[in-house]
């Protein structure tokens, strides 16, 4: 029996055996494509080398590092992590871009405090919307007339916009481009990998929560990365338990008649009496039970790095709602901020050999911002 040829390009997660690959000339027409849910899309997609790939590579030639933030599961805090990663890198004096390719659920504008902003176009292309001189953002959220307007697009149109973002946005010189993606392993993921294949990508950061229902999908995401040759920089376990100072809790005592009494003051006084030196006392508990061992065990079993855990923290949630960095100001010593700093430091150590931080000093305004955009 003849040996099956290796697929050309990525293979969708739901593809049948012997899929020729989405970049193959036989995509959508091969015998193996019969009955595949992706057949019509693959058949109608352009075949052969994509002439736009050279333009994308040229556009991104000034970007030193490209990081994809992925998760197989929705609702795990991936966009929150992307936003805080961008804030943290910019705070170190680096030139940073944040690209939101979650076409149907663009939350990055709110998390960066940019709601209501619009994209401007110049002779050099689309200009990012700037949070600071050294932090630019691009998202379909800037193109919607209203914050509640849905994006009801089929795959080809979504893929076309992702290509346009990569080809036409004038990022200028960047130390880091962080790309926030939607959940899953389908259209948008396949497209961004294909479009970036002529540009060096450092790798992907995978975000999950501890419970097995999330870990199952994240395993698929890691296998997707392996299939398309995308390095996995590491796994982040988000919402990893609750860690808060004891004084931030309320203690309620239910009565038989159904009423509830707030006994917080009595509890804290009792703790103070029995443990006088309780400054810095932290209460912690698991919120999501890691029945399968959580992200660390999964990462070990799949041979990818584990970057760390970020606990549930109201401070981080408030920062995302307000479009602020959780790593600065009064919350810089919160449990989530400390955890995020450690994870981001680890990512920098893996990727930052050729970036210049000017000993912590701001490297100057972003070139595109200086040009009046």
Q: How many CA atoms lie within 13 A of 112 on its CB side?
A: 33
Token reading at 274: 């029995």
Taking the C-alpha atoms of residue 7 and residue 4, their distance in angstroms, rounded to an integer, is: 9
Binding-site residue numbers for [4Fe-4S] cluster are: 19, 33, 36, 42
Q: What share of the chain is helix, strand, coil (3-state, %, to 5)?
A: 35, 20, 45
Only one residue has tokens 């389908």, namely: 186
Structure token pair of residue 119 = 């994209």
Closest to 102 measured CA to CA, from 71, 67, 126:
71
In angstroms, how far is CA 187 from the centroid of its own chain?
16
How far, in Å, CA of 303 to CA of 293, rounded? 15
As annotated, the binding site for ATP includes 72-79
Q: Classify burial at 275, counting beta carbons within 10 Å of its beta carbon; exposed 0-12, middle 13-18, buried 19 or more.
A: exposed
C-alpha 194: how far from its chain's center? 18
178 pairs with which residues across the strands? 67, 98
Please answer whether residues 174 and 161 qualify as being in contact, where contact means their C-beta atoms are separated by less than 8 angstroms.
no
Residue 144 and residue 151: Cα distance in Å, rounded? 9
Signed CA dihedral, 57, 60, 63, 66: sign only: negative
Dihedral sign for Cα atoms in the order 343, 349, 352, 355: positive
Residues belonging to the binding site are 19, 33, 36, 42, 72-79
């Amino acid at each position: 029996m003849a040996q099956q040829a290796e697929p050309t390009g990525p293979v969708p997660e739901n593809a049948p055996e012997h899929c020729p690959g989405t970049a193959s000339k036989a995509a959508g027409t091969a015998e193996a494509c019969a009955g595949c849910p992706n057949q019509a899309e693959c058949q109608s997609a352009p075949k052969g080398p994509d002439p736009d790939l050279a333009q994308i590579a040229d556009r991104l030639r000034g970007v030193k590092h490209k990081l994809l933030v992925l998760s197989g599961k929705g609702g795990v805090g991936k966009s929150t992590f992307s936003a805080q990663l961008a804030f943290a890198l910019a705070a170190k004096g680096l030139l940073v871009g944040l690209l939101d390719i979650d076409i149907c659920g663009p939350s990055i504008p709110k998390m960066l405090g940019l709601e209501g902003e619009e994209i401007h176009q110049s002779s050099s292309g689309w200009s990012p919307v700037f949070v600071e001189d050294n932090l630019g953002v691009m998202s379909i959220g800037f193109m919607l007339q209203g914050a509640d307007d849905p994006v009801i697009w089929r795959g080809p149109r979504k893929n076309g916009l992702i290509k346009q973002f990569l080809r036409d946005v004038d990022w200028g010189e960047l130390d880091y481009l962080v790309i926030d993606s939607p959940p899953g392993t389908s259209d948008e993921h396949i497209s961004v990998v294909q479009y970036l294949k002529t540009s060096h990508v450092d790798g992907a950061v995978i975000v999950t929560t501890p419970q097995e229902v999330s870990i199952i999908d994240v395993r698929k995401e890691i296998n997707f990365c392996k299939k398309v040759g995308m390095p996995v920089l590491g796994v982040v376990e988000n919402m990893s338990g609750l860690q808060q100072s004891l004084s931030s809790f309320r203690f309620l005592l239910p009565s038989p008649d159904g009423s509830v009494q707030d006994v917080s003051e009595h509890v804290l006084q009792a703790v103070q009496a029995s443990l006088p030196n309780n400054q810095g006392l932290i209460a912690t508990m698991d919120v999501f039970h890691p029945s399968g061992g959580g992200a660390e065990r999964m990462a070990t079993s799949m041979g990818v790095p584990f970057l760390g855990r970020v606990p549930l923290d109201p401070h981080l949630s408030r920062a995302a709602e307000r479009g602020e960095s959780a790593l600065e100001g009064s919350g810089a010593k919160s449990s989530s901020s400390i955890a995020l700093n450690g994870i981001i430091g680890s990512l920098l150590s893996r990727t930052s050999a050729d970036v210049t931080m000017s000993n912590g000093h701001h490297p100057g305004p972003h070139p595109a911002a200086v040009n009046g955009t």
